[in-house]
Each structure stands twice: as structure tokens, then as C-alpha cells.
Chains A and B, each alone.
Chain A
């Protein structure tokens, strides 16, 4: 079974600074997807960024980028120029890429990000 580990329960960052959230995962599969989701106090889970395991290039979405190290099974999220609206719970998540299956997503326990004005 796949597992996702987030070892930072809470992180804080000054507004406009950069912060990195860590995530490691365990799997025996070679085809999979990795995600970072944001869950603000409103509770709605929002996709921040996703990475296909077969792609060597790290995904980037505006101020959000990942450092995907497949051999080390590490998937960290970097938030640049942090904004007050970035404050939320961030979940790292894994999904198998095999065809014919279902979309079971395995989530980590989350990291609470605080942005200090």
C-alpha cells in the first residue's frame, strides 16, 4: 500500500518570503501522480499543483513549484513571494497511474502554513 508522509505539522513564513513544505511517499509503482492540495478554513480542497511521475521536469504553477526526486521518493512544494491568502492546510497526495483502476487518492496528514504579515 502507498503511504504519504508529511513531517512538518506547522510552518510559518513572512509575507513575500519563500517557504518549502516537505513530503515523502512510499510506493512500488512506477506510474503515478503526486499532488499538493490546499485546504483553507473554508474547507474546500483546492488543487495547487500536480506532477506526473514519468515527467522529469518539475511542475510549476505561478508562485508554486515542486522539487520531485523520484529515486528518493520526495516531493516538496516551494511557495515563493508568500501572500496572506496562502495561509491554509497543505496536503501532499498520491494517486496510482494505472489504467483501469479507480481514483483512490492517498493523502498525508497535512502541514499548517501560517503567513506572518
Chain B
């Protein structure tokens, strides 16, 4: 069984640019959540996708957007990058969005904005 994978591992972008991060969920999982983890902080919830629809969002501006595809893989898009967007971005997948279902995390993408 393949776990959650994310690409790329690292990337460097310039302020004002746009970036797309990718996540492949664990086999059979229809729910993907994205988190931002700034250096020295705990992860912060960005949003969750369930069966291709956003079904929950944290306190992040609209320039953070996402997609979920029919195979349940997902993308996180960030427009107009700011220096404060530099962070580790984690995705997590689960069998269902219900509260009793465990989330399985990927290894993350380290984004540096200069």
C-alpha cells in the first residue's frame, strides 16, 4: 500500500510568483487536507477536500486555493507569494472526512519565498 506522497520536496520562488504543490493520497482515501507549518510552529489547517469539493477552510486568504481530482489526488495553489508563505506544506489523507477517521500525513514540501 502506497502512503501519502508530495511533490516537489523543496522549491524556491520569488515574491509575487505563483506556486502549485501536489499531493497523492493513500490508496482508497477520498479526503485530503492541507496544512502550513511555519518554522518553529505547529501545522495550521488551510483547507480540506472531499470528493473533489472543498468542505472546510481555515483562516487563509483566497490566494490559497486547491483542487482535488477524480483519483483524489490534490493540488494546493498559492498566488502572489509573500515572504511569510515560506513554510513546510503538509497534506494528509483519510478514508472519510468523519472525525473518527485517522489522517495520514505526507513528508511535506518545503517552500522558500525570496
Contact = CB atoms under 8 A, between A and B. Distances in A.
B48 A107 contact: no
A103 B94 contact: yes
Given A45-B90, A106-B45, A107-B44, A101 B99 contact: yes
Given A33-B99, A101-B99, A44 B41 contact: no
Contact of A47 (B40, B50, B102): B102
B42 interface: yes
A43 B107 contact: yes
Contacts of A93: 42
B97 A102 contact: yes
Contact of B107 (A33, A42, A97): A42
A102 B102 CA distance: 12
Given A104-B48, A109-B41, A43 B108 contact: yes
B107 A104 contact: no
Nearest to B101: A103
Nearest to B92: A45
Contacts of A47: 102-103
Contacts of B45: 104-106
A56 interface: no
A47 B102 CA distance: 9
Interface of A: 4, 33, 42-47, 50, 91, 93, 95-99, 101-110
Interface of B: 31, 33, 35, 40-45, 48, 50, 55-56, 58, 88, 90, 92, 94, 97-103, 105-108
11 contacts: A44-B106, A93-B42, A97-B99, A102-B55, A102-B56, A103-B98, A104-B45, A104-B58, A105-B43, A109-B41, A110-B40
